Amino acid sequence: MAGSTLGHLFRITTFGESHGPAIGAVVDGCPPGMSLSVEDIQLDLDRRKPGTSRHVTQRQEADQVEILSGVFEGKTTGTPIALVIRNTDQRSQDYGDILDSFRPGHADYTYWHKYGIRDPRGGGRSSARLTAPVVAAAAVAKKWLAEKHGISFYGYMTQLGDLEIPFEDQSQISQNPFFAPSAKIIPELEAYMDQLRKAGDSCGARLTVVAKNVPVGLGEPIFDKLDADIAHAMMGINAVKGVEIGAGFKSVAQKGSEHGDEMFADGFASNNAGGMLGGISSGQDVVVSIAIKPTSSIMSPKQSINRAGDVSVVQTKGRHDPCVGIRATPIAEAMLALVIMDHVLRHRAQCGDVSVSTPRIPAQRP
Amino acid sequence: MAGSTLGHLFRITTFGESHGPAIGAVVDGCPPGMSLSVEDIQLDLDRRKPGTSRHVTQRQEADQVEILSGVFEGKTTGTPIALVIRNTDQRSQDYGDILDSFRPGHADYTYWHKYGIRDPRGGGRSSARLTAPVVAAAAVAKKWLAEKHGISFYGYMTQLGDLEIPFEDQSQISQNPFFAPSAKIIPELEAYMDQLRKAGDSCGARLTVVAKNVPVGLGEPIFDKLDADIAHAMMGINAVKGVEIGAGFKSVAQKGSEHGDEMFADGFASNNAGGMLGGISSGQDVVVSIAIKPTSSIMSPKQSINRAGDVSVVQTKGRHDPCVGIRATPIAEAMLALVIMDHVLRHRAQCGDVSVSTPRIPAQRP
Amino acid sequence: MAGSTLGHLFRITTFGESHGPAIGAVVDGCPPGMSLSVEDIQLDLDRRKPGTSRHVTQRQEADQVEILSGVFEGKTTGTPIALVIRNTDQRSQDYGDILDSFRPGHADYTYWHKYGIRDPRGGGRSSARLTAPVVAAAAVAKKWLAEKHGISFYGYMTQLGDLEIPFEDQSQISQNPFFAPSAKIIPELEAYMDQLRKAGDSCGARLTVVAKNVPVGLGEPIFDKLDADIAHAMMGINAVKGVEIGAGFKSVAQKGSEHGDEMFADGFASNNAGGMLGGISSGQDVVVSIAIKPTSSIMSPKQSINRAGDVSVVQTKGRHDPCVGIRATPIAEAMLALVIMDHVLRHRAQCGDVSVSTPRIPAQRP
Amino acid sequence: MAGSTLGHLFRITTFGESHGPAIGAVVDGCPPGMSLSVEDIQLDLDRRKPGTSRHVTQRQEADQVEILSGVFEGKTTGTPIALVIRNTDQRSQDYGDILDSFRPGHADYTYWHKYGIRDPRGGGRSSARLTAPVVAAAAVAKKWLAEKHGISFYGYMTQLGDLEIPFEDQSQISQNPFFAPSAKIIPELEAYMDQLRKAGDSCGARLTVVAKNVPVGLGEPIFDKLDADIAHAMMGINAVKGVEIGAGFKSVAQKGSEHGDEMFADGFASNNAGGMLGGISSGQDVVVSIAIKPTSSIMSPKQSINRAGDVSVVQTKGRHDPCVGIRATPIAEAMLALVIMDHVLRHRAQCGDVSVSTPRIPAQRP
In which band, very low, low, confident or very high, does the pLDDT at D318 lie, cut at 50, 70 and 90? low
Task: Inform me whether the C-beta atom of residue B16 falls under 8 Å from chain C C-beta atoms.
Answer: yes
**Cβ contacts (< 8 Å) between C33 and chain B: which residues?**
115-117
ipTM of the complex: 0.96
Q: What average pLDDT does range B117-135 have in this prediction?
A: 90
Q: State residue B94's pLDDT score.
A: 54
In which band, very low, low, confident or very high, does the pLDDT at D49 lie, cut at 50, 70 and 90? confident
- Are the C-beta atoms of residues A64 and A85 closer than 8 Å to each other? yes
B199 versus A49: the higher-pLDDT residue is B199
- Are the C-beta atoms of residues C155 and C333 closer than 8 Å to each other? yes
Neighbours of D195 (CB within 10 A): 10
Percent of chain B surpassing pLDDT 90: 81
With b for 16 or more beta-carbon neighbours within 10 A and e for fewer, the B302-315 pattern comes to bebbbbeeeebebe
Q: State residue A91's pLDDT score.
A: 60
Q: Identify the sign of the CA torsion B169, B173, B174, B178.
A: positive
Task: Inform me whether the C-beta atom of residue B349 falls under 8 Å from chain D C-beta atoms.
Answer: yes
For the annotated binding site of B for NADP(+), the residues are 48, 54
Answer yes or no: is A239 a known binding residue: yes
Q: State residue B316's pLDDT score.
A: 75
Strands of C29-111 (E only): list them: 65-67, 71-72, 75-76, 81-86
Distance CA D11, CA D341 (A): 9
Q: How far is D271 from chain C (nearest CA, A)?
A: 10
pLDDT in tens, D186-218: 999 999 999 998 999 999 999 999 999 999 999
With b for 16 or more beta-carbon neighbours within 10 A and e for fewer, the A75-107 pattern comes to bbbbbbbbbbbbbeeeeeeebeebbebbbbbbb
- Are the C-beta atoms of residues C259 and D254 closer than 8 Å to each other? no
Q: How far is D42 from chain C (nearest CA, A)?
A: 22
CA angle (A345, A346, A350) in 5-degree steps: 115
**Cβ contacts (< 8 Å) between D3 and chain A: which residues?**
28-29
Q: State residue B90's pLDDT score.
A: 62
Q: What integer best gives the mean pLDDT of chain B?
A: 93
Strands in B5-6's sheet, in edge-to-edge order, are B5-6, B11-16, B22-28, B81-86, B65-67
Q: State residue C9's pLDDT score.
A: 97
Q: What is the pTM of this model?
A: 0.97
Q: What are phi and psi of B153, to 5 degrees?
A: -130, 145
Q: State residue C89's pLDDT score.
A: 66
Lowest pLDDT segment from D53-57, D120-124, D258-262: D53-57
Distance CA B153, CA B286 (A): 9
- Chains sharing 3 or more CB pairs under 8 A with chain D: A, B, C
Residue D319 has pLDDT above 70, yes or no: no
- Please give the distance of CA D92 from its chain centroid, rounded to a whole number: 29
* Beta-sheet pairing, B11-16 with D286-292: unpaired
In which band, very low, low, confident or very high, does the pLDDT at A90 lie, cut at 50, 70 and 90? low
**Cβ contacts (< 8 Å) between C2 and chain B: which residues?**
7-11, 28-29, 80
CATH of domain D5-351: 3.60.150.10
pLDDT in tens, A13-39: 999 999 899 999 999 999 999 999 999
Q: What average pLDDT does range B40-58 have in this prediction?
A: 83
Answer yes or no: is A360 a known binding residue: no
* Beta-sheet pairing, D276-277 with C276-277: unpaired
> Which C positions 243-272 lie with beta carbon below 8 A of chain D?
243-265, 269, 272
Residue A92 has pLDDT above 60, yes or no: no
Task: Inform me whether the C-beta atom of residue A29 falls under 8 Å from chain D C-beta atoms.
Answer: yes
Q: What average pLDDT does range D338-365 have in this prediction?
A: 96
pLDDT in tens, chain C (366 residues): 678 999 999 999 999 999 899 999 999 999 999 999 999 999 999 887 777 788 877 777 778 999 999 999 999 999 999 999 999 866 655 566 667 889 999 999 999 999 999 888 888 999 989 999 999 999 999 999 999 999 999 999 999 999 999 999 999 999 999 999 999 999 999 999 999 989 999 999 999 999 999 999 999 999 999 999 999 999 999 999 999 999 999 999 999 999 999 999 999 999 999 999 999 999 999 999 999 999 988 888 889 999 999 999 988 776 678 899 999 999 999 999 999 999 999 999 999 999 999 999 999 999
Best mutation target, C57, C113, C157, C287, to test chain D (most D CBs within 10 A): C113
- Are the C-beta atoms of residues C155 and C207 closer than 8 Å to each other? yes
B1 versus A141: the higher-pLDDT residue is A141
Lowest pLDDT segment from A108-122, B64-78, D3-17: A108-122
Helices (H), C167-225: 186-198
CB contact under 8 A, D345 and B345: no
A96 versus D347: the higher-pLDDT residue is D347
Residues 6+ apart with CB under 8 A from A136: A24, A25, A41, A44, A45, A65, A83, A85
- Please give the distance of CA B56 from its chain centroid, rounded to a whole number: 17
**Cβ contacts (< 8 Å) between C218 and chain A: which residues?**
none
Residue D96 has pLDDT above 80, yes or no: no
Gyration radius (Cα) of chain A, Å: 21
Percent of chain A surpassing pLDDT 90: 81
- Please give the distance of CA D79 from its chain centroid, rounded to a whole number: 25
- Per DSSP, A281 falls in state E
CA angle (C282, C288, C289) in 5-degree steps: 155
**Cβ contacts (< 8 Å) between C283 and chain D: which residues?**
113
Q: What integer best gives the mean pLDDT of chain D?
A: 93
Distance CA C67, CA C62 (A): 15
Percent of chain A surpassing pLDDT 70: 96
Distance CA B358, CA B346 (A): 22
Residue A94 has pLDDT above 70, yes or no: no
Q: What are phi and psi of C149, to 5 degrees?
A: -125, 0
- Per DSSP, C101 falls in state B
CB contact under 8 A, A351 and C32: yes
Domain ranges of chain A: 5-351
Helices (H), chain D: 38-48, 96-100, 108-115, 131-149, 186-198, 226-235, 256-259, 329-351
* Beta-sheet pairing, B75-76 with B71-72: antiparallel
How far, CA to CA in Å, does D120 sit from each of A197, C174, D96, D99, D301? 55, 46, 9, 6, 19
Please name every residue paired with B27 in a beta bridge, in sequence order, or none if there are none: B12, B81
Closest chain B residue to the Cα of C81, Cα to Cα: B15
Q: Which of C257, C261, C206, C273 is nearest to D161 (CA)?
A: C257
Q: Which of C6, C333, C227, C325 is nearest to D231 (CA)?
A: C227
Q: What average pLDDT does range B111-130 have in this prediction?
A: 90
Q: What average pLDDT does range B246-266 have in this prediction?
A: 96
Between the two ends of chain A, the Cα-to-Cα distance in Å is 46
Q: Which of A87, A65, A46, A41 is nearest to A327 (CA)?
A: A46
Residues 6+ apart with CB under 8 A from A233: A6, A335, A336, A338, A339, B223, B228
> Coil, helix or strand for D230?
helix
Q: State residue A300's pLDDT score.
A: 83
Q: What average pLDDT does range B104-118 have in this prediction?
A: 94
Best mutation target, B8, B72, B280, B348, to test chain D (most D CBs within 10 A): B348
Q: State residue C92's pLDDT score.
A: 53
Residue D360 has pLDDT above 80, yes or no: yes
Q: State residue A95's pLDDT score.
A: 62
Q: How far is A205 from chain B (nearest CA, A)?
A: 5
> Which B positions 98-117 lie with beta carbon below 8 A of chain C?
114-117
